[in-house]
Amino acid sequence: MKLSGKKNIVCYCIIAVIFAASLVVWYFIYNAEIENPVAKIYKNGVLIEIINISDYDLRFSFTVGTPETGINEIKVKNGEIWVGGITDCLVQTCVKTGHIGSNGRTIPIICVPNRLEIRIVGGENIHELDAVAR
Amino acid sequence: MKYNTKKLTLTALFAAIALIIFIIEAQIPLSFSVPGLKLGLANIVTLLILFLGGSWKARDAFLVLLVRVLLAAFITGNTMSFAFSFAGGLLALGVMLAVKMALKDEAIPVVSVAGALAHNAGQIAMAALYMQSTSVFAYFPALIAGGIISGLFTGFAVYYLFKKHPKFIGFIGGKK
């Protein structure tokens, strides 16, 4: 049982490089500025809603799903979208992800048990996407 | 399979310890913007068995993992987490075995980090398959960074268990 040794040192260097690289990539994912962000909501891999999140000055909330597929309450206000309220999943990861859409927070909200996903994308082609959704 | 009473008891004990660590760990909130991040402390038991040597084989680590994941699913009632834990745990076990064989000088922390990363990769892959979406990979960099920290932590925990408690390791049938 040794901690030193040539192979070990090489391994620690590789680990350090991977660690640094992952932090850099994470920083860019977390801080991606997107112009005119819109939120796309997917349920079971299907796009069900596109929301222009900057349109709502007052809080607007709605639910997605049924008791069978799992209910998530989605809230929108001032360019931010988040999951909260009556959300019936065991892990609550989607709630803990918090608000996305503003301050460059573009990490997708993902609720694995309910197969729900909220993605922030640039809004330049929102009309084209709207046409697809309808 | 040859199991004498002592080894059978120890295997059950390991499974119980792993389960307790697993359940306590689930209560620790680690939600600083990285959903899904866990300490992975239950891997300490798997890692310990892998490095024990003597009559302890990878098969025993697999058994303890299986019992832990099954019982955790029964206790929490979360059947989906069973599939996720099992996929992650199995991949981690395989990768740890491979890395352990590749590095003959038995670097516990390195093997532990490799296991943690494999565990995260397995879970992300399962989530992507289940969600039919690649968005989950956005969380991968954060899980890699977190996995390295927790992997080093569990690795050094097992390393010091071997170094500081040779009598205990000898008692449970491992090499000196």
Same domain, A19 and A40: no
Instruction: Answer yes or no: do B141 and A25 touch at CB < 8 A.
Output: yes
| ipTM computed for the complex | 0.81
Same domain, A54 and A104: yes
pLDDT of residue A19: 94
Task: Look at residue B142 and tell me whether its pLDDT is greater than 80.
Answer: yes
Containing domain of residue A42, as a range?
Answer: 35-133
Same domain, A51 and A26: no
Chain B nearest-CA distance from A58, in A, is 25
Same domain, A70 and A92: yes
Residue A97 belongs to a domain with what CATH number?
2.60.320.10
Is B96:B136 a contact under the CB 8 Å cutoff? no
Alpha carbon distance A63, A42 (integer Å)? 13
Closest CA to B91 of B56, B58, B116: B116
Instruction: Answer yes or no: do A108 and B78 touch at CB < 8 A.
Output: no
Residues B44-76 have pLDDT tens digits of 999 999 998 888 888 999 999 999 989 988 887
Same domain, A77 and A122: yes
A62–chain B Cβ distance below 8 A for any pair: no
**From the list A15, A29, A90, which residue is nearest B78 (CB)?**
A90
Same domain, A50 and A109: yes
Same domain, A70 and A126: yes
Question: What is the total count of domains within chain A?
Answer: 2
Sign of the C-alpha dihedral, residues A14, A16, A19, A25?
negative
Same domain, A11 and A39: no
**From the list A8, A22, A108, which residue is nearest B135 (CB)?**
A108
Average of pLDDT values for A45-63?
86
Contacting residues of A for B130, CB less than 8 Å apart: 112, 115
Same domain, A88 and A46: yes
Same domain, A19 and A72: no
Domains of chain B: 5-171 (1.10.1760.20)
Same domain, A43 and A23: no
Tell me the three state secondary structure of residue A109.
strand
**From the list B76, B78, B141, which residue is nearest A26 (CB)?**
B141
Instruction: Answer yes or no: do A18 and B144 touch at CB < 8 A.
Output: yes
